[in-house]
Amino acid sequence: MAVTTPHNIYLIGPRASGKTSLGRLLAERLGRPFLDLDEVFRELRGETIAALVEREGWERFREIERDILAETAKTPGRVVATGGGAVLLPENRKVLARGVVVYLQADPERLAERLLADFKPDQRPNLTDLELAEEIKATLAEREPLYLAAAHVSLPEAPLEVLAERAEKALAML
């Protein structure tokens, strides 16, 4: 399943782990189209994730996210940044498994710093009623086993250029 195959490359990981930034760079380097599922949601729905979650709840958002991922998977050859919780639904994990999955690992404290530095409540609504650092730790504890199980490649946190190089090398070996 090398980079030259038409499979989609899915980037997974927690909020603020760098999925969109790496996705754009990796897509450019590989000569593939890039897609961010959160952006697709906003374009299709004409509203923010936060607005939908406030009105209809996280479960409804996950259903819509599932449908967007399934539709996205029909067109191969792209680099796709998923939402942080995309791995929560078993049907999403099945879709991801049909592509190449790259997990971006990140330190919880670093994630909190990034979220606070680039505060976007409409784009990244709170997942719980916990304080941000505690929410990140709790969310990672729940999701890390799912990220690891879904991943073909796991990349520890590093500067963006280093991540892109590591991703390219890892993908070439698959």
Which residues belong to the annotated binding site for ATP? 16-21, 124
Q: In one letter, which amino acid is 17?
A: S
CA distances from 124 to 54, 74, 82, 114, 154 (A): 12, 26, 13, 12, 23
CA 174/CA 152 separation, integer angstroms: 8
Q: Which residues are annotated as a binding site for Mg(2+)?
A: 20
Q: Which residues are annotated as a binding site?
A: 16-21, 38, 62, 84, 124, 143
DSSP 8-state assignment for residue 42: H
Q: Which residues are annotated as a binding site for substrate?
A: 38, 62, 84, 143
Helices 160-172 & 19-30 angle (0-180, nearest 10): 60
